[in-house]
Amino acid sequence: MGPENLLRDRYLPVLIVIVISIIIGLVMFLISGFLRTKRHYTLKLTPYECGISSTGYTGDRFNVKFYIVAIAFVIFDVETVFLYPWAIVYKKIGFFALLEMYLFIFILLIGYIYAIGKNIFNWRRD
């Protein structure tokens, strides 16, 4: 083995694993495709709805809360993205990093309290 090449020795295997994972899934499809029975008729191919025939389009409307939770998720996920590298270099930077991150968490906390006050995380209608 020559000198270590980060891209080749560390990340190429990861790519290979991903490719193999896809191949495993496809091979399972293929094997099953050869072996399984195929006896379709119209009634079998209707969407499941407890025996009642389905009406309307499914993805029409849904509760707006799902959107709001998704937005809250983006905010806190970005916070995590900042926390991760901070956690790595925390010991090297010391007190300044501590102060800086508390300030950051504090600002987010204000938003968090506002979100709770707005009943975003409360799904009961009362």
Partner 1 sequence: METIYVILITTIKTIIYFGVLMLHVAYATYAERKIIGHIQLRLGPMVVGPHGLLQPIADVVKLIFKEDIIPYNVDRKIFTIAPLISLTAALSTFAVIPVSENWLISNVNVGILYVLGIAGIGTYGIIFAGWASNSKYAFLGSLRSAAQMISYEVALAMSLVGVILMAESFNLTEIVNKQLEYSYGMFLIPQFLGYFVFIVAMLAETNRVPFDLPEAETELVAGYFVEYSGIRFSLFYLAEYLAMFCMSALATICFWGGWTVPPFLLTIFPFLGIIPGIIWFLIKVYFHMFLFFWIRGTLPRYRYDQLMSIGWKVLLPLALLNIVLTSIIKYYW
**Among positions 64, 95, 96, 110, the unique one binding partner 1 when judged by CB under 8 A:** 95
| 112 and 120 Cβ atoms separated by less than 8 Å | no
User: Contact with partner 1 (CB under 8 A): which of 100, 103, 107, 122?
Assistant: 122
29 lies in the binding site for partner 1 (CB under 8 A):
yes
Q: Is 118 helix (H, G, I), strand (E, B) or coil?
A: coil
Q: Does 64 bind partner 1 (CB under 8 A)?
A: no
Q: Is 103 in the site for partner 1 (CB under 8 A)?
A: no
| Tokens 């079998």 -> residue | 44
Choose which of 51, 53, 96, 124 interacts with partner 1 (CB under 8 A): 124
Write down how long the chain is. 126
Of 49 and 110, which CB lies nearer to partner 1 in the complex structure? 49
43 binds partner 1 (CB under 8 A): no
The helix, strand and coil proportions of the chain, stated in percent and rounded to the nearest 5, come to 70, 0, 30
| Listed residue (106, 116, 105, 109) closest to 69, CA to CA | 116
Smallest distance, partner 1 to C-beta of residue 77, A: 6
